[in-house]
Structure formats: C-alpha cells, structure tokens
C-alpha cells in the first residue's frame, strides 16, 4: 500500500501523519522538542533539534503503519516567519529566529519605509525582518524553517513555497519578489525561487533516506505554513468555506476567490491552489477562559447553559489590554463587567463574547471583499464544546461543525498526496 507523509514542525514538538491514496489517515506519531529560549524580544530554537525530532517521529510512525506500506511522497508544514542562517553545507550558524521573535525593530523600520501599507512583511516579527537581520550579518544562506528541512531531505537548497514566502515579502498576486526589496539591500533576483504548495521538489537524497528510514525514491513535495495546512486538513475547499481555530487564541480564515489584505488589522491572504485563504487572529480565546475555569469545570457548567438564549452580558474577553483583529487597538481594555455571582451566567457571557468577536472577524473579512462564510468548520480545543457550537451557530447565522481531524501534519500529508484542494 502506498502512503503519503506529512510533517508538522511546531515549537513544542514534531508531528507526523500518513494517509493512503484516498487521503484517509493511516497513522500518526509525535515527539516533543526542547522548549524555545525566550529572553526579552528574542525567541530562539536549535534547528538541529528539529532534525532529531523528525527522525524520532518518523521512526514512531513507521512502527504504526500497516505492514507492507511504502511511503511515496512527503511534505512539510512549519511555522510561518521562522528563519535561520546556515552555511553552504546547510549547517546552521546559530539558533533559528522563531515566528514570535521580535528583536528586529531596526529592520522593521526600514521595511515600513519601503514596503506598501498592505504588505504582510511589515513588523518586527515578520519573516522579512528576520531575513534582513541575518543577511546584514553576513549569513551565506537564509532559509525558512520548512525550506531548511526540505534542503536536508534533498541535499540542496530547494525553492520555497508561496505561503512561507508571504511574510518575507513575496507578492503572490504578481507571482514575484517585489522590486522594493532592492531598497533594503536584497536583490529580488537572488531571492529563492517560489512554487505553489504541493509542487514536487525532487527525490530524497540517499543519506537522508538512510538516516530517516525512508525509501530512496521518495519524492519531497513543497509544503506550507502550519495554519494553512490545518485548513487543508479541515476540508475547506470552496469560496465561503471558513475555518475557526478555537485554541488559546481565536483565528478565523475563509476561502476566497480573490486576495484581501489589511495590514493594520493583520489581515492577509495565502494562495490556496487557484483560490485564496484570507484570515486574521484575535487575542481572545481559550487563554481567557483558562483564567477562571478548568476544562472540566467548563464542561460541567455548560450543561446548565441554554445556547439558544442570550446571556444579557456584553463582554469583550481579553487576557490583557490590546487587540489586533477585528479591532486594531493595542490599548483596548478587556470588557468583563458586570461580573455575575453565578458562574454559569459568567461563563455564558464569556463564550458569547468570544463568539461575537468571531462573527465580527468574518464581517471584517467580508468588508474587505472576502465572502461571508457559508459554513464554519471548527478546530482546536473549543471545537468539541457542543453548547458553544450551538451558541456560535446562533450568533453567526450559518452552519457550524467540529472537524475531528484537522492537525497540520494531516494537511501536509494531503498536500503530499494531491496538492492544494481544488474547488
């Protein structure tokens, strides 16, 4: 039986999935990674730990695959904006700068002066800010996290993919690196070649195949960012299909026929085959609920909530002041008053408040030109809450359902199988 493999490089671990020729899950495995080193605005991780984690995750995956299964293709999903410097032999020259590393304020100021207002490459945590930071320090080679893994698999630097390149300044609408990069000292012609996710990059190198226990004819396929891979795993494929992630924060994404952007609100669009994936992320989410309730307590209290009735409370739940989407206000204060004595009503108000922010997020995307959702697929820890799902369905006014299998490694495996979803 043929298998198609996906890897997901997260900050806390490496996850691997295998699917069959119909995209059905065959096996999954995961291993933890050493925690990142965070100090001030810096956020770093040893890239060599990623490679060790991949080897361990694939070894575990092989042990759970049905006998006789032969991997044919592999794709990697990784965190957008994570980059590293390496030499011509692909050896890291230091720790990788992670997606949330914001040390590059000087570079971000230069980018702000050169880049158009709607560019997702703006900001100290952007991939471009880190790329420029390493380039200015004489790095022979700068690669995105996914590209370094692909380089190790192939034995040579590969093309990057259009999703990982987005926050490094690539213009997916025009299909090229923009000319304004030259004003930063970066030659657009010297930037990596860019391909769409799902494009075959080549056959695995012999030493990598031997080290990872993979067949020598395995094909490495261009992957994507972790959030886009999760959307692929969820099954969104037509304009109006939306995916809400209810994790520590709230992330909303909707499939659109055209790209939309609003840098002020952190809205940008990833190419998704012939379509686009527009989205934004709020600071509300499960982290706010965790301040007052454990998961078990939430489950118990939700049994007493009527999701079809309004709580009468008007909350904007935030863990601390500051919001980025759908409102861009770094000083926005949480709105959590009045606080009822009844914990059931308090939780009801919190869940409703988050649901209203979700609806406002989709309205913001629609104002920019994306379609309002025709259906919302839900991932993350909050997806299993049936009461909250019914409440969100009432507030959004569209079908809302949970997606049991929506991890990025699964989306990467389905990219390896057949490329990005098509309408």
Q: What is the CATH number of the domain that holds 299?
A: 3.30.420.40
The more confident residue out of 268 and 148 is 148
Sheet holding 70-78, edge to edge: 25-32, 13-19, 2-9, 70-78, 219-225, 200-203
- The pLDDT score that the predictor gives to residue 161 is 96
Domain end marker among 228, 253, 287: 228
Distance CA 18, CA 221 (A): 14
Residue 205: pLDDT above 90?
A: yes
Residue 239: pLDDT above 90?
A: yes
Helix (H) or strand (E) holding 137: none
Q: Where are the beta strands (DSSP E) in 158-209?
A: 160-161, 194-195, 200-203
Mean pLDDT of 159-178: 94
When pLDDT is cut at 50, 70 and 90, the band that residue 423 belongs to is low
Considering the domain architecture, whether residues 204 and 269 belong to the same structural domain is answered as: no
Considering the domain architecture, whether residues 300 and 215 belong to the same structural domain is answered as: no
Residue 249 lies in a domain: yes
Residue 91 lies in a domain: yes
And the tokens for 395?
A: 């507030």
Considering the domain architecture, whether residues 187 and 137 belong to the same structural domain is answered as: yes
β-strand partners of 400: 376
Distance CA 392, CA 389 (A): 5
- The pLDDT score that the predictor gives to residue 422 is 63
Residue 353 near residue 317 (C-beta atoms within 8 A): yes
Considering the domain architecture, whether residues 278 and 341 belong to the same structural domain is answered as: yes
Residue 418 lies in a domain: no
Helices (H), 203-253: 206-212, 226-234
Considering the domain architecture, whether residues 216 and 262 belong to the same structural domain is answered as: no
Mean pLDDT of 36-62: 95
Mean pLDDT, the chain, as a whole number? 94
How many structural domains compose the chain?
2
- Domain containing 16: what range? 2-228
Considering the domain architecture, whether residues 16 and 125 belong to the same structural domain is answered as: yes
Q: What's the pTM?
A: 0.86
Residue 70, SS3 per DSSP: strand
Considering the domain architecture, whether residues 355 and 213 belong to the same structural domain is answered as: no
Residue 287: pLDDT above 90?
A: no
Considering the domain architecture, whether residues 216 and 94 belong to the same structural domain is answered as: yes
Residue 395 lies in a domain: yes
Residue 419: pLDDT above 90?
A: no
Residue 250 lies in a domain: yes
Residue 317: pLDDT above 70?
A: yes
Considering the domain architecture, whether residues 212 and 244 belong to the same structural domain is answered as: no
Considering the domain architecture, whether residues 223 and 241 belong to the same structural domain is answered as: no
Residue 43 lies in a domain: yes
User: What is the Rg, in whole angstroms, of the alpha carbon atoms belonging to the chain?
Assistant: 21
Domain end marker among 195, 228, 261: 228
Distance CA 97, CA 81 (A): 8
- 171: phi then psi, degrees, rounded to nearest 5: -100, 100
Distance CA 121, CA 126 (A): 5
């Amino acid at each position: 039986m043929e298998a198609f493999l996906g890897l997901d490089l997260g900050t806390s671990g490496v996850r691997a999935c295998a699917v069959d020729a119909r995209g059905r899950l065959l096996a999954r495995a995961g291993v933890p990674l050493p925690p990142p080193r965070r100090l001030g605005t810096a956020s770093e991780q040893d890239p060599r730990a990623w490679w060790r984690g991949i080897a361990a995750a694939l070894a575990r995956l092989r042990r759970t695959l049905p006998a006789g299964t032969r991997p044919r293709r592999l794709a990697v999903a990784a965190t957008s904006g994570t980059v590293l410097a390496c030499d011509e032999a692909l050896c890291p020259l230091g720790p990788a700068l992670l997606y949330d590393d914001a040390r590059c304020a000087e570079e971000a100021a230069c980018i702000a002066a050169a880049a158009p207002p709607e560019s997702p490459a703006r900001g100290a945590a952007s991939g471009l800010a880190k790329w420029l930071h390493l380039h200015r320090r004489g790095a022979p080679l700068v690669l995105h996290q996914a590209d370094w893994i692909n380089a190790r698999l192939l034995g040579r630097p590969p093309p990057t993919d259009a999703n990982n390149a987005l926050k490094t300044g690539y213009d997916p609408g025009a299909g090229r690196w923009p000319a304004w990069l030259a004003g930063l000292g970066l030659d657009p012609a010297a930037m990596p070649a860019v391909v769409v996710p799902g494009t075959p990059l080549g056959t695995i190198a012999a030493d990598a195949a031997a080290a990872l226990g993979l067949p020598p004819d395995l094909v490495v396929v261009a992957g994507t960012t972790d959030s886009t891979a999760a959307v692929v795993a969820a099954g969104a494929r037509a304009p109006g299909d939306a995916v809400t992630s209810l994790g520590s924060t709230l992330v909303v994404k909707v499939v659109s026929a055209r790209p939309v952007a609003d840098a002020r609100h952190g809205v940008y669009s990833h190419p998704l085959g012939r379509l686009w994936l527009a989205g934004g992320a709020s600071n509300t989410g499960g982290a706010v609920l965790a301040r007052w309730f454990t998961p078990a307590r939430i489950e118990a209290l939700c049994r007493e909530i009527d999701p079809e009735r309004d709580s009468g409370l008007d909350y904007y739940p935030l863990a601390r002041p500051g919001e980025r989407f759908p409102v861009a206000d770094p000083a926005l204060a949480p709105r959590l008053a009045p606080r009822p004595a009844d914990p059931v009503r308090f939780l009801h108000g919190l869940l409703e408040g988050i649901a209203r922010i979700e609806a406002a997020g989709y309205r913001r995307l629609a104002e920019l030109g994306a379609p309002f959702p025709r259906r919302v697929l839900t991932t993350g820890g909050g997806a299993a809450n049936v009461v909250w799902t019914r409440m969100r369905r009432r507030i959004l006014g569209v079908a809302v359902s949970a997606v049991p299998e929506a991890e990025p490694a699964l989306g990467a495996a389905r990219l390896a199988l057949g490329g990005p979803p098509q309408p």
